[in-house]
Amino acid sequence: MCPQTASAETGTTATAEAWLRHFEAGWRDPGGPATFAAHFERVLHPEVRMIQPQLPTIVGVEQFRRGFVEPTFALLPDLHGEVEHWAIDGERLYVELRLEATLGGAPVSWTTCDRITLRDGLAIERVAYFDAGPLLRVLATHPRAWPRFVRSQLMQLRFRLSRRRGG
């Protein structure tokens, strides 16, 4: 490997590791939806594309806030996470994240694996892979969770309708 290649790879790895540390801090102590969104918006590309189960594809930081952060924290206000494992492949990160929250008075936890692609140190794409089963089981067996779930779903519906109208 030539010295220039090694230097470029080292720089890319350092950038990815710095991004990962920011990601870890944001999930460890989200501080609520506004704080969480502000924390992550600093490291998202303006045209970021986010793909995840149970939600529409999100493009851009405004959609990140309205289509992901607000409905997610409406359903799970105490949501937080801990990075368990990670790997870096150039400008791509693979992060295994353990998420925990309370839903309808019951604790719920699940693991997601996020594939995050960086461009110039900012996330340009995030694809999440997880099984929604643990959330759905708690939701189905804890009626106290239903009002929050309905509120979250209405937020999602309003978000989807505003996207169709171009707003």
- CATH number of the domain residue 69 falls in: 3.10.450.50
In tens, the pLDDT along 107-160 reads: 999 999 999 999 999 999 999 999 999 999 999 999 998 888 888 888 888 887
Question: Domain range holding 113?
Answer: 3-164
For β-strands 92-103 and 80-89, DSSP reports them as antiparallel
Integer angstrom CA distances of residue 134 from 126, 139, 157? 22, 9, 23
Q: Are 81 and 98 in contact (CB under 8 A)?
A: yes
Cα(150)–Cα(125) distance, rounded to whole angstroms? 28
Number of domains in the chain: 1
Cα(145)–Cα(100) distance, rounded to whole angstroms? 15
Q: What is the pTM of this model?
A: 0.84
Segment 40-62 shows an average pLDDT of 94
Determine the residue type at 17.
Answer: E
How would you class 56 by CB atoms within 10 Å of its CB: exposed for 0-12, middle for 13-18, buried for 19 or more?
A: middle
